[in-house]
Amino acid sequence: MSKPIIYHIPVCPFSQRVEILLELKGLRGAVEFRVVDITKPRDPHILELSRGTTALPIMDLGGGRVLKESLVILRYVEEAYRELQIARSDAYERGVERLLIDRAGDFTMAGYLMVMNRDRERIGEKREALLGHYAWLDDFLRHHNPDGTFLFERYGLADLVYTPMFMRFWFLDYYEGFDLPVDPAFARVRRWRDACIAHPAAQQVSYEEIVKLYYDYAAGLGNGALGPGRSRSSFAFDPDWRARPMPPKDKYDRIASDEELGLV
Amino acid sequence: MSKPIIYHIPVCPFSQRVEILLELKGLRGAVEFRVVDITKPRDPHILELSRGTTALPIMDLGGGRVLKESLVILRYVEEAYRELQIARSDAYERGVERLLIDRAGDFTMAGYLMVMNRDRERIGEKREALLGHYAWLDDFLRHHNPDGTFLFERYGLADLVYTPMFMRFWFLDYYEGFDLPVDPAFARVRRWRDACIAHPAAQQVSYEEIVKLYYDYAAGLGNGALGPGRSRSSFAFDPDWRARPMPPKDKYDRIASDEELGLV
């Protein structure tokens, strides 16, 4: 059987979850990752695999077997490659792990809504919403593992689900001047967040890469949409992000041009 | 160790899922179910277990170990009692099962929004929303198991997740005059739905019970809230639902009195 293929968008946090999981399992090459250029019409072959939907990632296992939804794909990888189990094995601990994982969607959404906001009047409200999630996470971790770093004694499934999101939220640091307040109320979640970001299995992306590629989100534009005067997405493959300058931070005043972003 | 305890509201569809699962495993007595009267202030002991949240069900495993969220509790029961596995064992099939289970929340919400609607102008919109979910389910089942009845060859985890919802939607039949249209477009999901409702492991509730207990939802009132002129919830334990008359169907015109519902 040929390798499973995951089709994803560049620096997709959902497929980074799978990359981290494979890294932890020592199976880095077991899955092929193919990047989809979301600035172009979708390849008919991929549309056929997904049966018409356009959300990514999707995972092609061959023989007509296709999975969607990042957490479904993640569990598939965990369960199909049993060499080294990363999820907890105790039933109660698996439940606690699931409770934490279940909140990741709303946490992610709060950060994305914050970076995509273009209304100065709503900055405070977005900030409070995200801090509410951090407060919940702090409380959850303090309850289940007050003195530890991760949810359990080692970096595991719930931790790796959040790690790519903590890294994407570098765009909040850069464009919104927002970081977790240095405050005892957030000390537990901060210890966790920092250790997740520093984990050796999670070094697939960098601060600079996130900030440059996600410029369009800071400009309020998602998934390949373009603003006035723009002809290329900040997610474009070419020119490579390394060759581009750091984007301007003044997202509440204007949308930068292709030239200014180094996209032409 | 004493038995785990699940605290739930009467005829809670989420705990019926657990009851069906235990029935399939032949472990009916392994968990104790305790009904919480949502028309009264929450017992401090339960609030302590849940750490302040009021959503039910919660599952107390003893020793400070508490799980919330119906699907988390369901997976716990599946994984803690391994005598007979009900979820699929193949990793890909587990993924397909998860994809179906993941839609159950939105499907449920569409049916509840429909029964709780009090605006005649919006009946068509609610109906279309729910039919959209049925169309998705029909397509999904047709793709994965065109000639079968359940998602796979036998009644399993995804099927039992939906079964209590199909039964709750009896309130749509009674109060909204809504059933799945007899139409080839819904033939596959209808076959599934009917077989789920008829499954011997899923006979914990009856049509009459659902219709009587959920009257308050049909009147647009959720979880113990009371309408004008009402002093008792239709979810009250006493008088027993068997002793009450069938409620009036004219939900768009008025809210029935306690007397008319047999609640006093």
DSSP string, A29-56: GGSEEEE--TTSPPPHHHHHHHTT---S
pLDDT on residue B223: 65
Smallest Cβ–Cβ distance between B80 and the set A61, A67, A91 belongs to A91
Q: Identify whether A86 is part of a domain.
A: no
**What would the mean pLDDT of A199-223 be, rounded to a whole number?**
94
Asked whether residue B143 falls in the same domain as residue B108, the answer is yes
Of the residues A163, A180, A201, the one at which a domain ends: A201
pTM comes to 0.94
Of the residues B80, B110, B134, the one at which a domain ends: B80
CB contact under 8 A, A96 and B67: yes
Q: Which residue of A has its CA nearest to B75?
A: A95
- Tell me how many domains chain B contains: 3
What CATH number is attached to the domain comprising A74?
Answer: 3.40.30.10
Q: Compute the distance between CA of residue A24 and CA of residue A17 in angstroms, rounded to an integer.
A: 11
pLDDT tens readout for residues A21-31: 999 999 988 99
Q: Identify whether B101 is part of a domain.
A: yes
Q: Compute the distance between CA of residue A256 and CA of residue A185 in angstroms, rounded to an integer.
A: 37
Asked whether residue B251 falls in the same domain as residue B165, the answer is no
Q: Compute the distance between CA of residue A138 and CA of residue A103 in angstroms, rounded to an integer.
A: 13
Q: Which residue of B has its CA nearest to A65?
A: B92
Q: Which residue has the tokens 């931070």?
A: A249
Asked whether residue B43 falls in the same domain as residue B98, the answer is no
Asked whether residue A62 falls in the same domain as residue A103, the answer is no
Q: Which helix (H) or strand (E) holds B231?
A: none
Q: Compute the distance between CA of residue B170 and CA of residue B206 in angstroms, rounded to an integer.
A: 9
Asked whether residue B153 falls in the same domain as residue B51, the answer is no
ipTM of this complex > 0.90? yes
Smallest Cβ–Cβ distance between A95 and the set B72, B102, B143 belongs to B72
Smallest Cβ–Cβ distance between B92 and the set A51, A65, A99 belongs to A65
Asked whether residue A180 falls in the same domain as residue A103, the answer is yes
Asked whether residue A133 falls in the same domain as residue A196, the answer is yes
CB pairs under 8 A between A and B: 56
Percent of chain A with pLDDT over 90: 81
Percent of chain B with pLDDT over 90: 81
CB contact under 8 A, B92 and A69: no
Asked whether residue A139 falls in the same domain as residue A108, the answer is yes
Q: Identify whether B85 is part of a domain.
A: no
Q: Are strands A32-35 and A5-8 parallel, antiparallel or unpaired?
A: parallel
CB contact at 8 A, A32 and A4: yes
Number of alpha carbons in the 13 Å side-chain half-sphere of residue B37: 9
CB contact under 8 A, B95 and A102: no
Q: Which helix (H) or strand (E) holds A62?
A: strand A58-62
Buried b (16+ CB within 10 A) or exposed e, A173-196: ebbbebebeeeeebebbbbbbeeb
What CATH number is attached to the domain comprising B169?
Answer: 1.20.1050.10
Q: Which residue has the tokens 């979640």?
A: A189
Of the residues A150, A169, A201, the one at which a domain ends: A201
Domain that holds residue A40: 5-80
CB contact at 8 A, B26 and B180: no
Q: Which residue has the tokens 């009692």?
A: B81
